[in-house]
Amino acid sequence: MSLRMPIFSEDSSLPSIGAQPVSASVLSARLLSSPSGNAKDKPALVFLHGLLGNGKDWQDVIDALGNDFNCLTIDLPGHGESQHIDVAGFDDTCALIATTIQYHLHQPFWLIGYSLGARLAMYLSAIQRESVGEGDARLAGLIIESGHTGLPIQERAARKDHDARWAARFEQEPIVDVLQDWYQQAVFSSLNHEQKQSLVAIRSDNLGVKVASMLRATSLAKQPILSQALKNSGLPLYYLCGENDHKFAALAKYSGFAFFTIPNAGHNIHTEQPALFSQHVKRLI
């Protein structure tokens, strides 16, 4: 992933990545304002990363979008500069996200979430929309990247055991060793050896105990099925999936949402195909 300097300006009056949150009720975040003025009549974009990631994961996408949109990246609890913040479940995680958005933004916004971030975006929209439904900073729509809408009840016990085993490993073993096995999962099969090793190196900065805590708190086993509530919300929702991510391509089709398949991409589209991802965002919003 590129670490180029962004093409946009940062509002230095607000907390940014590299700084502690303003309070325990606000996550570490970075608001990046368009320098061109093109974003004046457009919604802001709020980016939520996946498990093991942080707000910097979206840099290549924001490089492409930052001239046209104000962009807010958030470090989720247990990750990045929010690493010290612990949560118990979806409700308090989404409350933190909503408070952080309301603190930073004064305009309508779209949520753009990947994997865990996508599930949190959907939960916030379906279950806690009132927290971002009024005032200047109100939710206008969602773009979901490789996000699961929820398991049937009969499949949740197995998923709970699955996530508990991984959480125990993150807590008890060197994180490099756990990550070597983590990226052997089928969902990452589209990545080659070099890409996997790069991710292992990047993600090794995480604290295993914090990853374990977040994995337990936001396990897919604890998530209700969100499809119908999202449809009832009336919010526009677009689902992006990689053509090589067969599991989530099937989930996208089954969900009933408008979905778009991104060529030459697997589970993590915004890393594998940031230009195509950004083009879809511009076209859809």
Mean pLDDT value across residues 117-144: 93
d(CA 150, CA 152): 7
Contact 87, 68 (CB under 8 A): no
Regarding whether 93 and 46 lie in a shared domain, the answer is yes
Three-state secondary structure call for residue 34 = coil
Regarding whether 136 and 203 lie in a shared domain, the answer is no
pLDDT-based confidence at 16, cuts 50/70/90? very low
Regarding whether 233 and 196 lie in a shared domain, the answer is no
* Cα 97 from chain centroid (whole Å): 11
Residue 18 lies in a domain: no
Structure tokens at 110: 């779209």
Three-state secondary structure call for residue 207 = coil
pLDDT-based confidence at 24, cuts 50/70/90? low
Between residues 277 and 34, which one has the greater pLDDT?
277
* Residue-range definition of the domain harbouring residue 75: 29-152+222-284
Mean pLDDT value across residues 9-29: 50
This prediction's pTM? 0.91
Regarding whether 247 and 140 lie in a shared domain, the answer is yes
Regarding whether 236 and 125 lie in a shared domain, the answer is yes
Regarding whether 228 and 204 lie in a shared domain, the answer is no
Regarding whether 86 and 201 lie in a shared domain, the answer is no
Regarding whether 148 and 94 lie in a shared domain, the answer is yes
State which amino acid sits at residue 175.
I
Which pLDDT does position 251 carry in this prediction?
87
Regarding whether 127 and 178 lie in a shared domain, the answer is no
196-229 burial: b if 16+ Cβ within 10 Å, else e: beebbebbeebebebbbbbbbbbbbbbbbebbeb
Closest C-alpha to 4, from 274, 194, 242: 274
Last residue in a domain, options 167, 195, 214: 214
**pLDDT tens, position by position, 109-128:** 999 999 999 999 999 999 99
Which pLDDT does position 224 carry in this prediction?
97
Mean pLDDT value across residues 68-72: 96
Regarding whether 133 and 39 lie in a shared domain, the answer is yes
Last residue in a domain, options 186, 214, 242: 214
Contact 250, 270 (CB under 8 A): no
CA atoms within 13 A on the CB side of 128: 18
d(CA 24, CA 248): 34
Residue 9 lies in a domain: no
**pLDDT tens, position by position, 155-211:** 999 999 999 999 999 999 999 999 999 999 999 988 889 999 999 999 999 999 999
Last residue in a domain, options 175, 190, 214: 214
Regarding whether 168 and 115 lie in a shared domain, the answer is no
Evaluate if residue 8 carries a pLDDT over 80.
Answer: no
The pairing of strands 109-114 and 139-145 is: parallel
Residue 241 lies in a domain: yes
Q: How many domains does the chain have?
A: 2
Regarding whether 147 and 240 lie in a shared domain, the answer is yes
Mean pLDDT value across residues 248-258: 87
Q: What angle do CA 124, 129, 130 make, to 5 degrees?
A: 140
Mean pLDDT value across residues 9-25: 39
Which pLDDT does position 121 carry in this prediction?
98
